[in-house]
Structure formats: structure tokens, C-alpha cells
Structure 1
Amino acid sequence: MDEQETVRLTAWARGRVQGVGFRWWVRARALELGLVGSASNLRDGRVEVIAEGPRPSCEKLLELLRGSGTPGHVTGVAERWSEPRGGLYGFVEQ
């Protein structure tokens, strides 16, 4: 595995994750890890997280999403790994 490999992580967090500061928290963690992307509320109550950057940083973000330190209450996180698409700047809440 190439530690410097750039990847795209798409994760969907479910549980009580809207209206509790979850997207703001995700943005702060992602910026600390040097990732670019977004955190968006979905109509079904989940939050979609898109992050691009070095694989170890994306894996750490996924670990944090599944940890006990998140705002609200995460009951599960689905993930999809893919090639980076680029064109992302900063980390935004949508």
C-alpha cells in the first residue's frame, strides 16, 4: 500500500447526526487531517462525507466517524473508496 496514494472516501453516517453540529465537527477533523471535501445533510437523515487526500488521513477520518467522540449519536457508517476526482478546495458544510 502506498502511504502517499491519494484516494476519495465517501462515507454515509446514520443515526442522530443532523442538527447536532456533526457536519461542523467533521469539517474540523478533516481540515486537521489535511483533507478536502464536504459534509452534507441528506433528506433521509444521514450525513454524506466526501473526503480526498492521502489514504492514511482518510482512514483516520473514517475511524473518527465511527468513534465515540462525535456530536449526536452515530449508529453506523457505510463507506466507499474510489479514485480521487480532484477539483475540491477546502472542506465545506452543505
Structure 2
Amino acid sequence: MPNSTPQSQLIRAHVFITGRVQGVGYRYATVDTASQLGLTGWVRNLPDGRVEAVFEGAREIVEEIVRWCHVGPPAAVVQDVAVEYEEPENLRGFEVKRLVK
């Protein structure tokens, strides 16, 4: 539960995944994995073929999903994962965001 984590332990990772990551179930596998881990945030496809995601939660759990992003679901072929750490926004839930055109 996010509320049981001391604020200092809460981190936010903004992740960009490059490779064959669209049309392979990457977003939905990310939602499943993040939800199972109790993380909050969102994931979406970008027009350039990358997947963008934000994860908030305890440092060790966020680091675990960032490692998972390097592999992704079975059909994905991940070439690169770029991570930027930001101030947490205390998001609720984990969802697939629609791309804003």
C-alpha cells in the first residue's frame, strides 16, 4: 500500500522503452506487473514507436519494475530503457493512458 511507505522512500521513475514494444502487449503486461507490485502510475505508446511509463512507489519496488522493463512481455524486443527520476506526485492506481495527439 502506497500510504504505508514513508515519504522519503517514495520515488518516481519516468521511463522510455525503445525497441519492438508496440503491438506486443507491452502496455497491458506493464499494467499487470505494476499492479501486482502495488505501484501507481501509467503507461502509454508514443508516436515514435517507444513506450512511456511512470512508476511511483517504494524505491526497491520501482527498481524491480525498471529491471522488468528491460525484458517486458515475451513478444517484446527491448533495445533501450531510459530512466529519469522525478518528484513523486502521489498518483492513484495504474492505468494505460491514451496518446494525446
TM-score by length of 1: 0.88
* Offset, 1:69: 4.9
Aligned Cα RMSD in Å? 1.6
Q: For the pair shown, which has the larger CA radius of gyration, 1 or 2?
A: 2
> Residues 7 and 55 of structure 1 are in contact (CA less than 8 Å); yes or no, is this contact kept in structure 2?
yes
Unpaired segments ≥5 residues, structure 2? none
User: What is the one-letter code of the residue matched to 2:88?
Assistant: P
Runs (4+) of structure 1 exceeding 3 A deviation are 68-71
User: What is the one-letter code of the residue matched to 1:91?
Assistant: F
- Taking the aligned partners of 1:58 and 1:91, their CA distance within structure 2 comes to 13
> Residues 25 and 71 of structure 1 are in contact (CA less than 8 Å); yes or no, is this contact kept in structure 2?
no
1:30 maps to which residue? 34
TM-score by length of 2: 0.82
The 3 A distance-change label for structure 1 pair 71 and 30 is farther
Larger helix proportion of the pair: 2
Amino-acid identity (%)? 36
User: What is the one-letter code of the residue matched to 1:89?
Assistant: R
